[in-house]
A and B are shown apart, each in its own frame.
Chain A
């Protein structure tokens, strides 16, 4: 009697797993992604050095991984994307999370040491949001990239006619018209800094008046406490005290809100990458292979949602896994 009950319990385990899965969510993980299965023979230390945007994500993945393989040790550092390539090159890390692509110089440096290029793995999607204080009406109307460029950049490569330094110049009325804009940004070690410079500033230069912050979350906190503030940071760091500004690619286009549903049209959507050092023709060691498999499993992408970013589709996951020599269904 008892035995048969246990048997039934075993057969029902997979169903129980379903019970706890979300019943309703705005952001859903692609159902075709595989469930993660633990394997044997995984040991070693996960050492990740790199992006601050991906810092929490890497920590959450590592925590999940440690649940599966308690014998694995974990060390996570996240002081900016620029710290990832040197650590990978020096062998001081086995994962290099970056919120931007590696620059040519960084790839060359890597190639000089190893003779091949590092492999970027597209783990998740971030929408780089432009934040303003929650009471700022610009969050209702939106900005074009040229205007964003004119707000943040002194070179104005986006082609906006004149410099924008007060909210009135982007169409706000009443008390807002004469309030000066207060700028928040990241420090130059950050991949978000680099990405925003390339895409929103058209490779121009930041104004000197941008208040550079040490972390993604401190940009949001700065804007939250400054009524006239504007800043940029990953969508995952959004709080109730700030609002995201809808963005249009060109002046006159309809502004696209920074919401998961409109990721395809949003001008500042980017992949969050994890670089690994993989010798062509050689398989990854079990530790790195299994962590990457975990990232692209249901559980791993649930973690992405938990951290406020967007999960990747089955096709992207398949391609990313193939890049490092793993078969998604294997």
Chain B
């Protein structure tokens, strides 16, 4: 008794431990942290969020090329603590300036540590995070020459609360800096860039930023909509016209081979071809015009957006000096003064990060942005898989239990099914690739999509083939569960049904299946849980690193089961093992895992709810 109890306790502890680890790490990822600024004894600055803390015994050799004052401080400190020292892993960001995302700051080299009030955290579309001190908000009016600047200064009337300044770029101590000059200092400019309406000082700049960021981002969204939907539609129309031409061309070839050139059929086809070609030329011309128009709109939006910028002072890192940099507002996804935000604002940032994660496309080779395509791919694939596997598995199990006569053949089949459950999943992947993609897919392509060749349509990995492969993989689960459920229906009920004059199928349909239904659905739950979490076979039959086009969209025929798709499980593998900035990717792995577990739980609970409902409905006739 105590042995089995102990085993249960160990199981529960392990499962709960894993779940709570995933939950804790995954849920904490998006919580905004304060920004710390360190200055070392020899004057090197580091600023960023602290991500990890470590206590260790530094070896004496570790600091043989450090500055002497650092070594001195280190020796006093280590003597006090008995050779144990602390260090913090600081996310310093600013990769473009420093070529580093993270830095270990040793406790013994810190001279000063503070949390600057206006330290900003910027999440950008490109180049990852930026940490810097807020200096000013600018609306730029580019001016290449002094005369231009002069006219601009005379003509411009700055917005409420903003002042006119000159934006100048110059080298100070070997680093290029952006500085603001008063309008009277036009003569002193070294690399005049623009005249700007400026909100100078962090407080006003932050106010102006909050005021303008929304509209800039709205324009950016508009631009993205143009890029995705409008262009997609034009492109689709053009591709359709091209395929129409190609189809007739292929027909013409066939006719020429079968009936010879100059036959009446050949002439008709020739005429159609001409018509299609003219049509294609027309569509192409129209499409080019549309593309140019869309391009123009995008350029206009870009240009308007590029006027709004923030001036920040990067803290510098190590040997790299502090410098002032401009950041475009439309490049900023989210910005906040990390050391000033209240608890409520933090919660807002936290939730908005989750929102982005759940609804947005991935950015920067999947290391940032959201996972929406992966969520969509996982759910669609699992649903298609269940639709395939449940009817097939149930029918097969019914035959085995109700129709087939027990004998060596049936038990042979049963053994085979049970063994199928033990086959490694990658084998199913190989089978799916070899049979579904290369044999079935290629034949479908030849029959129906000849015009697309040599580009394969179904002859490669895709959503449909992935669902088929996983359906095969989970088939044994459904068959075994259904068989158990069907055999649990007491024979007396069947006999009663026959006694009332019901046929075999009527008995199965009205008596056996309703009673077995909860068991069947249990099989389905197990199948979903197994299928949604499977990754290895998917890598072969259609899950890819990046496929922002969803398998369902607004373009005819709306459902595109042939497309490659993204999958959460594969996404975890990719982010965990392939991403360049692996330190920043680690928490994302936990978050994605949490999400995957959540989705499987939701799918399962839906099925359980369905089971209970159905159980109640059919339960009425039972005793």
Query: B548 and A74: CB pair below 8 A?
Result: yes
Known: A19-B140, A71-B234, A306-B96. A12 touches B194 (CB 8 A): yes
Chain A residue contacts of B328, Cβ below 8 A = 20
CA distance A218 to B102 in the complex (A): 17
Indicate whether B222 reaches chain A with its CB closer than 8 angstroms: no
Closest to A67 in B: B227
CB of A27 closer than 8 Å to a CB of B? yes
Q: B235 and A134: CB pair below 8 A?
A: no
Instruction: Report B66 CB to chain A, min CB distance, Å.
Output: 11
B residues less than 8 Å from A221 (CB atoms): 577, 582
Q: Is B56 an interface residue when CB atoms closer than 8 A count as contact?
A: yes
Is A271 in contact with chain B by the CB < 8 A criterion?
A: no
Stretch at the interface among B35-43, B142-150, B406-414, B613-621: B142-150
Beta-carbon contacts under 8 Å, B524-552 to A: 539, 544-549
Contacts of A18 in B (CB 8 A): 193
Q: Which residue, A10, A71, A137, A306, has most C-beta atoms of chain B within 10 A?
A: A71
Q: Write the nearest CB–CB distance from B449 to chain A, whole angstroms.
A: 14
B29 within 8 Å of A by Cβ? no
Q: Find out whether the CB atom of A19 lies under 8 angstroms from the CB atom of B193.
A: yes
Using Cβ atoms and an 8 Å threshold, which residues of chain A touch B288?
40-41
What residues on B are CB-neighbors of A137 within 8 Å?
59, 61-62
Instruction: Assess the B326–A217 pair: CB atoms within 8 A.
Output: no
Interface residues on A, range: 35 or more
Give 1 or 0 for each of A218-252: 1 = CB within 8 Å of chain B CB.
10110000000000000011011100000000000
In residues 354-368 of chain B, which contact A (Cβ within 8 Å)? Answer: 363-366
Query: What's the count of A-B pairs with C-beta under 8 Å?
Result: 190
Q: Say yes or no for A86: interface residue by CB 8 A criterion.
A: no
Any chain A CB within 8 A of the CB of B217?
no
In the complex formed, the residue of A with least CB distance to B152 is: A8
Query: Chain B, 92-120, contact with A by CB distance < 8 Å: what is the 0/1 string?
Result: 00011111111110000000000000000
Within residues 1 to 31 of chain A, which ones have a CB less than 8 A from any CB in chain B?
1, 5, 8-13, 15-20, 22-27
A40 touches B292 (CB 8 A): yes
Known interface pairs A43-B235, A70-B232; A8-B141 also in contact (CB < 8 Å): yes
Shortest CB–CB separation between residue A215 and chain B, in angstroms? 4
Which stretch (B172-180, B271-279, B333-341, B422-430) binds chain A?
A: B172-180
CA distance A21 to B140 in the complex (A): 16
Interface membership of A108, Cβ < 8 A:
no
CB pair A23 B325 closer than 8 Å: yes
A residues near B579, Cβ cutoff 8 Å: 56, 217
Contact A25 B306 (CB under 8 A): no
Q: Mark A36-64, 1 if CB is under 8 A from B, else 0.
A: 00101101010000001001100110110
Identify which of B20-28, B387-395, B454-462 touches chain A: B454-462
**Given known A-B contacts A217-B577, A237-B580, A240-B104, A11 and B547 have beta carbons under 8 A apart:** no
**Contact bitstring B38-63, A, C-beta under 8 A = 1, else 0:** 00000000000000000010110110
Q: How many residues of B contact A (CB 8 A)?
A: 86
- A77-112 contact mask (Cβ, 8 Å, vs B): 1 or 0: 111000000000001100000000000000000000
| Cβ contact within 8 Å between B578 and A217 | yes
A281 part of interface (Cβ distance < 8 Å): no
CA distance A8 to B62 in the complex (A): 57
Tell me, rounded to whole Å, the shortest Cβ–Cβ distance linking A250 to chain B.
24
B342 in the interface (beta carbon within 8 A): no
Q: A8-B142, A12-B142, A218-B577 are in contact. Are A237 and B582 (CB under 8 A)?
A: yes
For residue A55, which residues in chain B have a CB less than 8 angstroms away from its CB? Answer: 365, 545, 578
Determine if A59 and B365 form an interchain contact, defined as CB atoms under 8 angstroms apart: yes
Query: Which residues from B are CB-within-8-Å of A62?
Result: 546
Partner among A19, A63, A70, A239 whose Cβ is within 8 Å of the Cβ of B582: A239
Identify A215's interface contact among B326, B460, B564, B578, CB under 8 A.
B578
Give min CB distance, A263 to chain B, whole Å.
14
Contact B231 A71 (CB under 8 A): yes
Residue A205, interface by CB 8 Å: no
Distance between A68 CB and nearest chain B CB, rounded to angstroms: 9
Whole-angstrom distance between the Cβ of A38 and the nearest chain B Cβ: 7
Known A135-B56, A240-B89, A306-B96; judge A75-B547 contact (CB<8 A): yes
Contact B460 A9 (CB under 8 A): no
Minimal Cβ-Cβ distance residue in B for A10: B303
CB closest residue in chain B, given A241:
B583
Contact (A8, B365) CB under 8 Å given A40-B291, A76-B545, A215-B578: no
B432, CB-defined interface residue at 8 Å: no
Contact (Cβ within 8 A) B142 A9: yes
Let me know if B553 is at the binding interface, CB within 8 A: no
Complex contact A23–B178 (CB within 8 A): yes
Return A163 CB to nearest CB of chain B, in Å: 25
- Within 8 Å of chain B (Cβ to Cβ): is A307? yes
Q: Which residues of the partner chain B approach A23 to less than 8 Å between Cβ atoms?
A: 97, 169, 175-178, 323, 325
Give the CA-CA distance A25 to B100 in the complex, in Å: 11
Q: Are A11 and B144 in contact (CB under 8 A)?
A: yes
Q: Which of A11, A74, A174 has the most CB of B within 10 A?
A: A74
Q: Is the CB of B175 within 8 A of A16?
A: no
Whether B144 contacts A22 by the Cβ 8 Å rule is no
Residue of B231, B539, B544 near A70 (CB, 8 A) is B231
A38 to B573, CA, bound (A): 35
Q: Which residues on the A side are within 8 Å of B549 (C-beta)?
A: 73
Task: Give chain B residues whose Cβ lies under 8 Å from the Cβ of A124.
Answer: none
Assess whether B492 is interfacial by the CB under 8 Å rule.
no
Using Cβ atoms and an 8 Å threshold, which residues of chain B touch A135? 56, 58-59, 62
B177 contact set on A, CB distance < 8 A: 23
Residue of A nearest to B291 (CB): A40
A window 157-214: CB within 8 A of B? 174-176, 213-214
Any chain B CB within 8 A of the CB of A216? yes
The proximity string for B residues 147-180 relative to A, scoring 1 for CB distances below 8 Å and 0 otherwise, is 0100010010000000000000100000111100
Is residue B203 within 8 Å, beta carbon to beta carbon, of the partner chain? no
Closest-CB distance, A93 to chain B (whole angstroms): 10
B577 touches A59 (CB 8 A): no
A20 CA to B98 CA, complexed, in Å:
16
User: Are A140 and B142 in touch, CB under 8 angstroms?
Assistant: no
A92 to B460, CA, bound (A): 8
Closest B residue to A18 by CB, please name it: B193
| Interchain CA distance A306-B367 in the complex, whole Å | 13
User: Is B99 touching A25 in the complex (CB atoms < 8 A)?
Assistant: yes
Q: Which residues of B contact A25 (CB under 8 A)?
A: 96-97, 99
Q: List 14 A-B contacts (CB under 8 A).
A: A10-B303, A19-B309, A55-B545, A55-B578, A59-B365, A60-B364, A70-B228, A71-B235, A74-B548, A75-B546, A77-B545, A135-B58, A137-B59, A306-B95
Residues of A within 8 A of B (CB): 1, 5, 8-13, 15-20, 22-27, 38, 40-41, 43, 45, 52, 55-56, 59-60, 62-63, 67, 70-71, 73-79, 91-92, 134-135, 137, 140, 174-176, 213-218, 220-221, 236-237, 239-241, 260, 305-308
Interface residues in chain B, defined as those with a beta carbon under 8 Å from any beta carbon in chain A: 56, 58-59, 61-62, 64-65, 89, 95-104, 126-127, 140-144, 148, 152, 155, 169, 175-178, 193-194, 226-228, 231-232, 234-235, 238-239, 288, 291-292, 295, 303, 306-307, 309, 320-321, 323, 325-328, 331, 363-366, 454-456, 460, 539, 544-549, 564, 573, 576-583, 585
Per CB-CB distance, the 4 closest pairs between chain A and chain B, nearest first, are A12-B142, A215-B577, A70-B227, A71-B235
